């Protein structure tokens, strides 16, 4: 009996992704780490059981477009308004610090400064799903600390659009041309106008969509069609298709139909994200990891430390209390999913090399896995320091009280 080889590959992929996703969740790690491991194990670096990488890459590109659409759809502009000033200012400072650190490092080594700018963009972006999960685990998602952290995540996701357009305009290691800068300004103007329009009025209502609310399958198809329609329209205008999909998600996410669309498109999102992370796993080179494991561990520690320090510094500059700034700064450490896309843009533009991209891919995966451990360690150190400060304060109070106490009178 003939068995289609592609069906076997799909079966292996789904089974491996499911098993490793469950294992990671039992280990209190994001399921996406399991998906990356599945691609790594099944790919050419280890078992070499998947050889149709073109099809996987096509689905991954599709997943990227829809990923941006889902990001826009899940943003709540009304909740963002309460912390938008702190979030936008802190995010701008984080981007400047990250870019300055990366461009400075490459300038010292004599490499392309534009590559440092691209890597600075990649490193500053935070993995929203992992950060939200960590906030939930420590019970801070609905607190004031959680609101600040979520506001920063929203601001970073808004910053993805100009970053993506800027890197898309790089070619041959040169700066973007005037047409690219015009496209960025047009996109920012459109984004600002959309946000202003959606945040100052009641949620949009469309009569047709209200009638279709009961048909989940058709509603899913309509949501995906709107995403692709905006993506194609943006491409025709000379903008990024991802920007169009993001704008569509932003409009739907701040309409009266947000809940219906989120619920109906969630399964499609999960499947495409699995394929996206699987494709990332396929790109990881085992021989590269084996040859550079020492440098990768050093880069991981530096990334965790420097991102935490940079995040806390920017929040303290914005006068966020120390305890809240420390927790937010630690939660925002994992390098984001969209950094894969930004890194790929930089690689295509020729401003970073293949080896640097391999380092970036491995670092993103490692930071995703290590972030919960880093958060737990940071919180333990902070609690120990506070206990030591309280003990020191108590000892000082005792010493002051002892000095004020009158000397004992001896009876003879």
Q: What is the per-residue pLDDT across 297-313, written as a single tens digit (0 to 9) for each?
A: 998 998 999 999 999 99
Mean pLDDT of 36-61: 72
Backbone angles phi, psi at 146, to 5 degrees: -60, -40
- The dihedral over CA atoms of 388, 394, 397, 401, expressed in degrees to the nearest 10, equals -140
Check residue 54 and give its pLDDT: 61
**What are the CA-CA distances from residue 75 to residues 108, 158, 173, 187, 247 (Å)?**
39, 9, 34, 18, 11
**How far, in whole angstroms, is CA 241 from its chain's centroid?**
19
What domains can be seen in the chain, in order of their start residue?
Answer: 5-171+179-396 (1.20.1530.20)
What 3 state SS string does the chain have? CCCCHHHHHHHHHHHHHHHHHHHHHHCCCCHHHHHHHHHHHHCCCCCCCCCCHHHHHHHHHHHHHHHHHHHHHHCCHHHHCCCHHHHHHHHHHHHHHHHHHHHHHHHHHCCCHHHHHHHHHHHHCECHHHHHHHHHHCCCCCCHHHHHHHHHHHHHHHHHHHHHHHHHCCECCECCCHHHHHHHHHHHHHHHHHHHHHHCCCCECCHHHHHCCCCHHHHHHHHHHHHHHHHHHHHHCCCCHHHHHHHHHHHHHCECCHHHHHHHHHHHHHHHHHHHHHHHHHHCCHHHHHHCHHHHHHHHHHHHHHHHHHHHHHHHHCCCCHHHHHHHHHHCCCECCHHHHHHHHHHHHCCCCHHHHHHHHHHHHHHHHHHHHHHHHHHHHHHHHHHHHHHHHHHHHHHHHHHHCCCCCCCC
What pLDDT is stored for residue 410 in this prediction?
47
CA-to-CA dists, residue 177 to 173, 349, 352, 384, angstroms: 12, 13, 19, 53
pLDDT value, residue 346:
87
The pLDDT assigned to 58 comes to 66
Q: What is the pTM of this model?
A: 0.74
- pLDDT of 314 higher than 80: yes
Query: What is the overall mean pLDDT for the chain?
Result: 78
pLDDT in tens, 10-45: 778 788 888 888 888 787 777 777 888 888 888 777
Distance of CA 355 to the CA centre of its chain: 22
Q: Is the pLDDT of residue 215 over 70?
A: no
Q: What percent of the chain has pLDDT over 70?
A: 83
> In whole angstroms, how far apart are CA 344 and each of 56, 129, 352, 354?
15, 21, 9, 10
Of 333, 350, 355, which Cα lies nearest the Cα of 123? 333
What is the structure's pLDDT at 411? Answer: 46
The pLDDT assigned to 412 comes to 47
Average pLDDT over every residue of 315-327: 86
Segment 149-170, tens digit of pLDDT: 888 887 887 788 788 878 877 7
Instruction: Provide the pLDDT confidence category of residue 175 given band limits of 50, 70 and 90.
Output: low
Does pLDDT of 319 surpass 50?
yes
Residues 227-266 have pLDDT tens digits of 888 888 877 776 667 778 888 888 887 777 777 777 777 7
- Give CA–CA dist 282/274, Å, rounded: 12
More confident residue, 217 or 31: 31
pLDDT at 276 over 60: yes
The reported pLDDT for the residue numbered 111 is 78
Report the distance separating Cα 278 and Cα 346, nearest Å. Answer: 21
* Unique residue bearing structure tokens 């991802």: 242
The fraction of the chain above a pLDDT of 90, given in percent, is 6
pLDDT greater than 70 at residue 113: yes
Average pLDDT, stretch 260-282?
76
Using CA atoms, how far apart are residues 269 and 131, in angstroms rounded to an integer? 19
Residue 338 tokens, joined:
């969209």
Q: Yes or no: say if 367 and 122 are a contact pair by the CB < 8 Å rule.
A: no
| CA-based end-to-end distance of the chain | 111
Residue 121 confidence class, pLDDT cut points 50, 70, 90? very high
């Amino acid at each position: 009996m003939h068995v289609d080889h592609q069906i076997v590959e799909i079966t292996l992929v789904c089974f491996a992704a499911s098993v490793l996703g469950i294992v990671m969740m039992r280990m209190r790690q994001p399921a996406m780490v399991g998906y990356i491991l599945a691609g790594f194990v099944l790919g050419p670096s280890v078992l070499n059981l998947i050889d149709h990488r073109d099809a996987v890459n096509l689905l991954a590109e599709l997943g990227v477009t829809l990923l941006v659409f889902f990001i826009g759809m899940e943003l709540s502009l009304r909740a963002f308004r309460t912390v938008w000033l702190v979030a936008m200012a802190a995010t701008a400072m984080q981007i400047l610090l990250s870019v300055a650190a990366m461009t400075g490092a490459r300038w010292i080594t004599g490499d392309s400064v534009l590559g440092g700018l691209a890597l600075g963009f990649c490193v500053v972006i935070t993995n929203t799903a992992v950060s939200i999960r960590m906030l939930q685990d420590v019970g801070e998602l609905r607190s004031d600390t959680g609101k600040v952290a979520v506001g920063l995540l929203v601001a970073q996701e808004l910053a993805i659009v100009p970053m993506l357009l800027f890197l898309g305009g790089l070619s041959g290691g040169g700066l973007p041309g005037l047409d690219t800068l015009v496209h960025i300004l047009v996109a920012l103007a459109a984004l600002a106008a959309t946000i202003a329009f959606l945040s100052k009025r009641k949620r949009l209502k469309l009569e047709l969509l209200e009638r279709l609310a009961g048909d989940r399958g058709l509603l899913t198809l309509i949501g995906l069609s709107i995403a692709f329609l905006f993506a194609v329209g943006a491409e025709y205008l000379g903008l990024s298709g991802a920007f169009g999909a993001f704008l569509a998600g932003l409009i739907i996410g701040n309409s009266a139909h947000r809940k219906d669309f989120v619920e109906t498109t969630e399964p499609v999102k999960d499947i495409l994200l699995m394929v996206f992370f699987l494709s990332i796993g396929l790109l990881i080179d085992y021989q590269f990891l084996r040859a550079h494991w020492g440098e990768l561990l050093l880069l991981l520690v530096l990334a965790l430390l420097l991102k935490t320090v940079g995040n806390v510094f920017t929040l303290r500059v914005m006068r966020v209390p120390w305890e809240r700034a420390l927790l937010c700064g630690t939660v925002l450490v994992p390098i984001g999913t969209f950094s894969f896309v930004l890194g790929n843009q930089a690689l295509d533009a020729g401003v970073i090399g293949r080896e640097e991209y391999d380092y970036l891919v491995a670092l993103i995966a490692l930071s995703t896995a290590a972030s919960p451990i880093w958060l737990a360690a940071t919180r333990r150190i902070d609690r120990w320091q506070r206990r030591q400060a309280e003990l020191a304060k108590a000892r000082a109070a005792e010493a002051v009280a002892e000095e004020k106490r009158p000397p004992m009178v001896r009876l003879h």
